[in-house]
Structure 1
Amino acid sequence: MRNLFNGLVFFLLLISSCKSQDTMIDKTVVKELDVDRYLGKWYEIARFDHSFERGLVGVSATYSYREDGKIKVVNAGFKETLQGERSEAIGKAKIPNKNVPSKLKVSFFWFFYGDYFVLDLDKDYQWAIVGSSTDKYLWILSRTPQIKDDLYNDLLVRLNERGYDVSKLIKVEQSIE
């Protein structure tokens, strides 16, 4: 738990101070995002490697409203195996510009916020691609712990067309439902 917390702090500091070196990456966000439909549980299908998630499997993110109108973020996973020690981080998200709800800011530590950009989204809110203002962070999320190979390959094509190096994606082990 402490390593996850330290990693999240590092992540937030890093992304709040970094700008992308690669201008060839298309970081355009979806034009419309219905936050109410986006809330709920998402499973991490693939991600770029980062110290704050290294070794975690069965990773999920659950979003819900807080009393103050911000979004509660609960990231959870298991160390090394699906039977490993559970690791959880609780944070908050906000939408700084209500005209662009697909560009959120997320914080797991104090007032340090990092980008959470919804780059692509299924019309039925069954999968999402999330990145940031830098090309160093990328996640493929799904409402289910598994997605079909043809969908995964389609998402890789979309990401490749945006300029992301999809060879850096790590598939996340998830339970089979």
Structure 2
Amino acid sequence: MRRVAALLAALVLAGCASHGEGPVPPRTVEAVDLARYQGTWYELARLPMFFQRGCAQSEAHYNLRDDGSLGVLNRCRTLDGNWKEAHGNAVPQVDGRTDKLWVRFDNWFSRLLPGIAKGEYWVLYVDDDYRTAVVGNPDRKYLWLLSRTPVVSERTRERLMEVAEGQGYDTDLLIWRTPDSALNDSAQHP
């Protein structure tokens, strides 16, 4: 009986010792110049996610507002060529830090639960020219490889993959942008 009690006590202590410890979150960039970050970003690849199901091509349009927040317009083109849009707002998680943002979209869920309906948008990498970026979240469930152009060189693609893999993301699960030639031509980009 003492051995069983000792074993249970050891298991409980081991559980307590590891409680609260989890994987180290990914590293973000030092700072993001939001004035340079604004504009259009094309999604080259992403990890699977519920709200982007059915998206063949996605793009994000950011505009810096007078209050320091970013206006967000996300667009998704489906395989049949139709576009879906979501409008939102991004603000720093910590005042004065621009590498970690909260993003809220204007939808029924965020109106119903405004304190909960926000996503973490961590800028993990942005090149010196603000032409490519890697964005994720701390639990590594979400990841986007972004570019100012919808197509990049193989070398650029490999560099973005290296960054993502180096941050602990499973790049084998990435969903890549569907080429224009594979989309229905009946719906043109507005």
**TM-score scaled to structure 2, two decimals?**
0.74
Alignment partner for residue 87 of structure 1, among 77, 81, 84? 84
Partner of 1:139 in structure 2?
144
Cα offsets for 1:99-130 (capped at 9, x unmatched): 32110000012322110000011110000000
Which amino acid in the other structure matches residue 174 of structure 2?
L
Q: Which of the two has greater strand per residue?
A: 1
Structure 2, unpaired ranges of 5+: 1-20, 182-190
Following superposition, which runs of at least 4 residues in structure 1 exceed 6 angstroms of deviation? Answer: none
Cα deviation, residue 173, structure 1: 1.8
Contact 1:59 1:174 in 2 (8 A): no
Instruction: Give the alignment of 1:44-63 within 5 angstroms.
Output: 44-63=43-62
Cα deviation, residue 70, structure 1: 2.3
Q: Which of the two has greater helix per residue?
A: 2
Structure 2 residue 159 is the aligned partner of structure 1 residue 154: yes
Q: Which whole-Å CA distance do the structure 1 matches of 2:163 and 2:69 have between them?
A: 30
Instruction: Give the alignment of 1:27-106 within 5 angstroms.
Output: 27-66=26-65, 68-81=67-80, 84-106=81-103
Which amino acid in the other structure matches residue 29 of structure 2?
V
Alignment partner for residue 118 of structure 2, among 113, 133, 137? 113
Contact 1:145 1:175 in 2 (8 A): no
Contact 2:45 2:146 in 1 (8 A): yes
Using a 3 Å threshold, how does the CA distance of structure 1 residues 174 and 60 change in structure 2: closer, same or farther?
farther
Cα offsets for 1:68-115 (capped at 9, x unmatched): 54211000021124xx21100001111132332110000012322110
Cα deviation, residue 175, structure 1: 4.0
Structure 1, unpaired ranges of 5+: 1-20
Structure 2 residue 23 is the aligned partner of structure 1 residue 23: yes
Q: How many residues get paired?
A: 153
Using a 3 Å threshold, how does the CA distance of structure 1 residues 155 and 69 change in structure 2: closer, same or farther?
closer
- Please report the RMSD computed on the Cα atoms of aligned residues, expressed in angstroms: 1.9
Which amino acid in the other structure matches residue 61 of structure 1?
A
Using a 3 Å threshold, how does the CA distance of structure 1 residues 49 and 133 change in structure 2: closer, same or farther?
same
Cα offsets for 1:16-43 (capped at 9, x unmatched): xxxxx9615x511000210100000000
SS for the counterpart of 1:42 is strand
Contact 1:55 1:80 in 2 (8 A): yes
Find the structure with the greater CA-based Rg.
2
**TM-score scaled to structure 1, two decimals?**
0.79
Percent identity between matched residues is 35
SS for the counterpart of 1:89 is strand
| Greater relative contact order (CA < 8 Å, ≥ 6 in sequence) | 1
